[in-house]
């Protein structure tokens, strides 16, 4: 009989891709989310529109012989959403309720295993002040000092999951994602992250003009392509290792160079204008020593390859949106 998985946040970017992957592996998948995936990445065998802040809905989602839960539901977005301070109460309240309710639902339904998607945003700001030399090894999390409430909620929830593991014997798997990107992710509207924003800006710009980049552009990051992320999640779930463990790329790049990459891929002549905006920490890179050791995993493709696929998809969305606007007017 095929295994049954519940994917929470299945209407989101990573959730949508994870559902597809689980099905390719022969799982029967139930997805739950506040909404369907807006880009058509809806492949769950059963899709429930439901709010995991409601404990009764979480309990119901965990019924029916589910073997594994993947808890990705969170109130999140890019820097424009989580670093401005304007959404802090919602981010903390909404995400923590999803986690508390799902853990209780898993315990009550007797489900053996749950995956939790934490974030690199839980790492202390003091280790990420030097853009050329950030420290994000898993054991550098304490003394805790994340630079956002989003990061604090992730750190608290990691501890919540570990407590359920210690006290109730639920097998927990915790990953700290570092900037996951790719097609069928949020690309506009304020919740998009840097890779999608760069691609959108380059795709929308007139040849010979410029694109705006938040901050001085010297801040550094690394980005992991969605297929690689899903592969690492599946390996972690099947391994005899709880984590927390980084799932990210070690190919670090300064944000202005990243913008140049998007411009090059677009084939247009564009310049960069650095403007004031929320940027987060000065430097961040994944440290993959632990995941190499424990799961024998490392990304296989370059950032450029992932960005080419992402640009192609976002460019299509931009063209489609323009066409729709022309039809209406």
- Catalytic residue ranges: 150
- Yes or no: say if 311 and 197 are a contact pair by the CB < 8 Å rule: no
- Helix 226-238 / helix 13-24 crossing angle, nearest 10 deg: 60
Residue placing its CB nearer to ligand NAD in the complex, 242 or 268: 242
Buried b (16+ CB within 10 A) or exposed e, 129-155: eebeebbbebeebeeebbbbbbbbbbb
User: Would you say 16 and 41 are in contact if contact means Cβ atoms under 8 Å apart?
Assistant: yes
φ/ψ of 183, rounded to 5, equals -60, 155
CB of 225 to ligand NAD, least distance (A): 11
Nearer to ligand NAD, 197 or 270 (CB): 197
CB closer to ligand NAD, 41 vs 270: 41
Per the structure block, which two tokens stand in for 305?
């390859």
Distances (CA, A) of 179 to 17, 168, 329: 15, 31, 37
Half-sphere exposure of 141 (CA within 13 A, CB side): 19
CB of 326 to ligand NAD, least distance (A): 28
Tell me whether residue 61 or residue 205 sits nearer to ligand NAD (CB atom). 61
To ligand NAD, the closest distance from the beta carbon of 9 in angstroms equals 3
Binding residues vs ligand NAD (CB under 6 A)? 9, 11-15, 33-35, 51-53, 72-76, 94, 98, 117, 119, 177, 179-180, 186, 193
Nearer to ligand NAD, 27 or 177 (CB): 177
Nearest-angstrom CA–CA distance, 157 and 163: 10
Query: Is residue 4 within 8 Å of residue 66, measured between CB atoms?
Result: yes
Q: Is the dihedral of CA 268, 224, 147, 54 positive or negative?
A: positive
Q: Nearest distance from residue 113's CB to ligand NAD, in Å?
A: 17
Min dist. Cβ of residue 267 to ligand NAD (A): 26
């Amino acid at each position: 009989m095929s295994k049954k998985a519940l994917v929470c946040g299945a209407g989101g970017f990573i959730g949508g891709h994870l559902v597809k992957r689980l099905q390719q592996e022969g799982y029967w998948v139930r997805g739950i989310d506040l909404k369907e995936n807006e880009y058509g990445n809806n492949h769950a065998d059963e899709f429930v529109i439901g709010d995991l802040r409601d404990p009764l809905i979480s309990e119901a989602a965990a019924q029916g012989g589910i073997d594994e839960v993947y808890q990705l539901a969170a109130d999140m977005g890019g820097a424009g959403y989580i670093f401005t301070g304007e959404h802090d109460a919602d981010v903390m309240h909404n995400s923590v309720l999803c986690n508390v309710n799902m853990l209780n639902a898993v315990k009550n339904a007797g489900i053996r295993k749950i995956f939790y998607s934490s974030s690199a945003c839980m790492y202390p700001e003091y280790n990420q002040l030097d853009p050329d030399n950030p420290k994000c090894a898993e054991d550098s999390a304490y003394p805790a000092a994340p630079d956002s409430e989003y990061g604090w909620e992730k750190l608290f929830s990691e501890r919540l999951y570990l407590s359920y593991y210690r006290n109730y014997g639920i097998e927990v798997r915790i990953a700290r994602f570092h900037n996951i990107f790719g097609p069928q992710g949020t690309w506009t509207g304020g919740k998009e992250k840097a890779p999608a924003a760069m691609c959108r800006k380059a795709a929308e710009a007139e040849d010979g003009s410029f694109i705006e980049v938040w901050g001085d552009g010297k801040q550094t990051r690394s980005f992991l392509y969605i297929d690689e992320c899903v592969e690492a999640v599946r390996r972690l779930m099947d391994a005899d290792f709880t984590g927390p463990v980084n799932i990210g790329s070690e190919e670090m790049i300064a944000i202005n160079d990243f913008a140049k990459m998007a411009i090059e891929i677009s084939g247009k002549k564009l310049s960069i204008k650095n403007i004031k905006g929320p940027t987060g920490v000065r430097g961040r890179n994944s440290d993959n020593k632990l995941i190499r050791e424990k799961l024998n995993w490392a990304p296989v493709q370059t950032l450029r390859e992932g960005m080419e696929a992402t640009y192609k998809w976002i460019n299509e969305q931009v063209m489609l949106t323009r066409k729709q606007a022309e039809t209406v007017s």
